[in-house]
Amino acid sequence: MEVQAITKYVRISPEKARHVARLIHGKPVNEALAICDLSPRKAASLLGKTLRSAVANAENNFDLDKDNLTVKSAEVGPGPTMKRFIAKARGSAGRIRKRTSNFRIILTEE
């Protein structure tokens, strides 16, 4: 049985979020939640919310036990990029790209 949770348009770049996603991939849910709670990165708290949502989906929709769940995959994909500019010298403009991410966490029973 596989259970998933998706969070879209999170305001962090995918490159930064993938560091934490690699840490929780393949771990039991309790250990992955501890990693997300104790890591000082912004992406850890955002991925922790998605992980808690996936656990709640498993418990409420499929009557699965939290202790038997494992993170099968934690994927971070790119979302839409907000394009902004900042004024530069001699009337030119510098580009600012505010990247967003889409998180997808899949849990499975051991």
For 31-84, how does the pLDDT look when each residue is reduced to its tens digit (9 = 90+)? 999 999 999 999 999 999 999 999 999 999 999 999 999 999 999 999 999 999
Cα 52 off chain centre by? 11
- Can you give the pLDDT at residue 76? 97
- Can you give the pLDDT at residue 38? 97
Mean pLDDT (the chain, rounded): 96
The CATH class given to the 2-109 domain equals alpha beta
pTM: 0.91
Domain spans of the chain, in order of start: 2-109
CB environment 80-107: b (16+ within 10 A), e (fewer): eeeeeeeeeeeeeeeeeeebbbbbbbbb
- Can you give the pLDDT at residue 90? 96
